[in-house]
Amino acid sequence: MSRHSIGAALLFALGAVPASALAEPHPDAERIVAIGGAVTEFVYAFGAGDRLVARDTTSTFPPEAMALPDVGYMRQLSPEGVLSMRPDLILAEEGAGPPEAVALLKSAGIPYEEIPSGASPGGVLAKADAVAEVLGVADGALRAALEADLTRAAKADRAIATPQRVLFVLSAQDDRLLAAGAGTGAEAIITLAGATNAVSGFQGYKPLTDEAVIAAAPDAILMMDRGDGATDPEAQKAQVLAMPAVTATPAGKAGRVIRMNGLYLLGFGPRTGKAALDLHRALYGGA
């Protein structure tokens, strides 16, 4: 199966998953703690932001979410911190943790609904369905808009004859690039944008040797802009481009480092289709 056929298949692979198989409805919940950036975005997108009383550290969009109390990073939750918000529903994305904290929250007598994670287009649609089901709201308009965005991204993908090779760099420390391999959200968004992951042969994230960077021969390097003010984006870009191995690649020679907001790029929430199209434009140009 070609890469473009795979991209088209991904778009609809999970879109038909019934929401009722994913979550139980809680239409009367009025004190919701949302855990996971995409989950929080979907709650606001469905017009239910006024039902939230807290969010986790990854929930940075929309801006209104930042005014909510922060219960901590979604993979390092404190049960006490979550329960101190007196929630009548905990709405968490799959992967929240640690496991013992989640077990305590599930045993606290408060509904705990887990929203499936998913980095494919169909997975994003299933996520939307699940959040809507839990909130007890109709998701028709939002789902249609999201599906339209994803379809536009898939069409843009199919229009590319020679996909660019993109290297996603999570961090650059000690003159080593920590890059995204197979099975990562980074690879998924790169594929959805009509490009291909410049590295293969490993799962997850791995530090690359200089030889591996040169062999990857990326046309562009993609990085997250965390927007936390802790890192100077231009300084980090200059640091990456100054690495000897990077200077030997097409991306290094062209000075092509693309930076995008981390949650926008890898959140796989309601803005996923737009993020893929923005990355596509950054790689190939066009309106």
CATH number at residue 98: 3.40.50.1980
Mean pLDDT, rounded, for 156-178 = 88
The DSSP secondary-structure symbol of 137 reads: -
At 62, the pLDDT band (50, 70, 90 cuts) reads: very high
- Residues sharing a CB contact under 8 Å with residue 238, sequence separation 6 or more, in sequence order: none
Q: Could you list the residue range(s) of the whole structural domain that residue 92 is in? A: 3-154
pLDDT above 80 (res 235): yes
64 within some domain: yes
Residue 159 has pLDDT above 80, yes or no: no
Q: Is residue 159 part of a domain?
A: no
Query: Where is pLDDT greater, at 33 or 8?
Result: 33
Same domain assignment for residues 150 and 169: no
d(CA 241, CA 239): 6
Structural domains of the chain, count? 2
For residue 277, pLDDT over 60 is answered with yes
Same domain, 172 and 135: no
Could you say which of 129, 154, 179 is where a domain stops? 154
Q: How confident is the model at residue 231 (pLDDT cuts 50, 70, 90)?
A: low
Threshold 0.85, pTM exceeds: yes
- Residues 171-229 have pLDDT tens digits of 988 889 999 999 999 999 999 999 999 999 999 999 999 999 999 999 999 999 866 55
Query: Do 134 and 12 fall within a single domain?
Result: yes
**Per-residue pLDDT for 14 more than 60?**
no
Look at residue 9 in the predicted model and tell me its pLDDT.
Answer: 44
